[in-house]
Chain A
Amino acid sequence: MSKITDMTATHNWSGQKLVSTDYMLFEAPRTKHFMTGSEVVKEAVKRATVDASVSYPITPQSEAAHLIGELWAEGYVGVYFRGENEFGVMSEVAGCSMAGARTITTTSGPGTLRAMENFAQWSGTRAPMQLILMARGINSPLTIQPDNLEVQYLLETGCMIWYAENVQELFDMSLAAFTVAEKPDVHVPIITAVDGFFVSHTREAVMLPEDDIALQPYNPYAAPLPPIDSEMPPGRFLRDPFVMKSNYISYATHASWQWEIRSAVERSKPYARHYLNGLVHVTGTEDAEIAFVTCGTASNQAKEAERELNKLGVKSKVIKLRTIRPFPEDELLEALEGVKHVFVPEFNVVGWLSNEVKAKLYGKSDANIVGAPRVAGGMSMPAEAIIKEVMENINPGKGA
């Protein structure tokens, strides 16, 4: 096992050379590999100088969690163990992060909901850990299939939420995620989401930097709140001072704390813009009157529909949102300039993304927003279904 005391000014405890996030993401030479989403989580953690990780099995994230365990056995991760269930794990990683560790964990579907109380508590303590969420259906009936309904439940927890479309994005995002989440003026937890199976179990070509370099270690003493390690004040106060009495001061304290967390999430935008090359990614025809607003693998399906629509003489574009919290409202509005029809295809039954888009564009865009098509419970979303939806809307009564 590795020891933290093996770390030097230039190398981490496993002997990897410490580099900046800019070098890791933009400058380091890369070579091509053929890997699944689970495997690139391991590759990202391997290059991230991670102090701690706690795991619990649930399909489809188990494999990523196993592989982080292997990294610990190989000496790349400081602390690793299996927790008792997801509520326990999210509590254990909270402890790890509060105690000053760069911390990561993974979960899926029902596990996310079992742990739900923790996510708001994470953001409330401004602890910058990362959750890799490999989204999966919520019971009942029982399903292990991809579906991202659980993200709806996470939207108002105060955590940042980024969404990766493919294996390459998952690798790059999970490295950038630590960097942005740990910025002293941000310093909130981050959830990096992908659609389970579609990304976690899909093998794709991915460009990776060499594994003898790693991110600079987390410095808990640059945090806006002191780590719980008995090395710093705050004397007699809790790290997360709570409010109990029903009076105006308590109300104001709680309200201002909640707003500060949300402001911190907003403050991440310039950093995310830099490390993710923009909060949104636009493909297709620039002056299109039809736009798809998407996240995750729905973007991939929408891009296929865009290409097919182009062949039919219908110009469209795909606006992929890389960050959901913070919501890239300005970028979306800019990309929607001149657009008359907005379609939001989603891998869940309630349409949380279209609700978000409608709420954010209300009074600011005249476009007709169609929250469709939606699939759930592991169904794929063929481009034909998206094209049909478009044709029925732009040519009412005439069908596809």
Chain B
Amino acid sequence: MSHDIYKINPEFREIMPKEIIELEENATWAKNMDKPRGIKELPDTKELLEEHSLCAGCPEAAALRYVLSALPKPEDTIIVNSTGCTSLMFPHIALHTVHSLFGNQNAVASGIKRVLDWRFPDTQKDVVVLAGDGATVDIGLDYTLQSFFRQEKITTICFDNEVYANTGGQESGMTAKGQVFKMAPTGKKFDKVPMWELAKTSGCHYSVNMTASAPKAVAKAVREAILVAREIGPTYINLYTPCILEIGLSANEGLGEMKDQDKDRFASYKHVSPEAEEYLKKCKAEGLL
């Protein structure tokens, strides 16, 4: 039912931008799909509209497209995000999204998820948190971890660019030790926070640390994480999306940076709890993966 909300009122069709009409015609609503949605459909689909306000070549913009392409049920998905570069993209996507305060995204998502489960007991509504490392690991760490402790059935995706990018390049908890950034003029004094490990010990049933270099791998992780969150409990994805601006790379160098880090600091980490593993096997057998 709920994909009808994206039907354009016939009275307004003439004045609608072309991209909105294409959205109505080409969006890959799960109900319309014979098999799981995915990266392959991305060139023809419209979950993310063409224009966004991030820097040219920003890996976050690509990563967001991969995430959106992998949502199992976009018409029933709410994305909660936070202050930062990511929040600049959300006015451009065709889903219900909330930008509340800096750091409170997992708390807001907890309220939304619990009420949607109360109001729509027979419909699966997915709640996905998508925020940067400053919001997830610094100012919002309490709320991130507490949502894991409480076993909130939400997926948290951190776009880890290792810096406060939108405010002009300040060191964050996710910055590597020794890195010089604004507010760390002699280099960062402590290690990068191992958030993917904290997620595991705090109760996440699925936790991965990866870069956004490989679209299929990102889409697979997102899909698995959302499915596990639906049935089992909280899930976490730490996704390296470097701020090419702040580390001095050109618009075409983001992908290379991520590929380099695949073999280095972001060598793959994946934790799946036994019950999540069992459930994912079931999803695979049912064709959901």
Contacts and interface: CB of A to CB of B under 8 A. Distances in A.
Interface of A: 3-5, 51-52, 54, 78-79, 81, 83-85, 87-89, 91-101, 103, 117-118, 121, 125, 228-233, 235-242, 244
Q: Is the interface of B mostly helix, strand, loop or mixed?
A: helix
Contacts of B77: 230
A230 B125 contact: yes
Contacts of B108: 91-92, 94-95, 98
Given A4-B121, A88-B143, A238-B90, A79 B99 contact: no
B92 interface: yes
Given A98-B98, A235-B20, A238-B97, A228 B112 contact: yes
Interface of B: 1-2, 5-6, 20, 23, 49, 75-78, 80, 87-88, 90-101, 104, 107-116, 118-122, 125, 142-143, 146, 150
A238 B99 contact: yes
A334 to B, nearest CB: 41
Among A79, A91, A118, A230, chain B packs the most CB atoms within 10 A around the CB of A230
Among B49, B98, B114, chain A packs the most CB atoms within 10 A around the CB of B114
B168 to A, nearest CB: 14
A118 B121 contact: no
Q: Is the interface of A mostly helix, strand, loop or mixed?
A: loop
5 contacts: A4-B119, A99-B111, A236-B92, A238-B97, A240-B99
B77 to A, nearest CB: 7
A125 B97 CA distance: 13
Contacts, number: 144
A127 B121 CA distance: 23
Among B93, B97, B108, chain A packs the most CB atoms within 10 A around the CB of B108
A236 B109 CA distance: 19
B166 to A, nearest CB: 10
Given A98-B111, A235-B6, 14 more contacts: A87-B143, A89-B107, A98-B108, A98-B112, A99-B112, A101-B115, A228-B78, A229-B119, A229-B125, A230-B78, A233-B6, A236-B20, A236-B92, A236-B95
Contact of B118 (A78, A118, A232, A238): A78
Nearest to B8: A235
Nearest to A220: B119
B91 A96 contact: no
B146 A84 contact: yes
Nearest to B78: A228
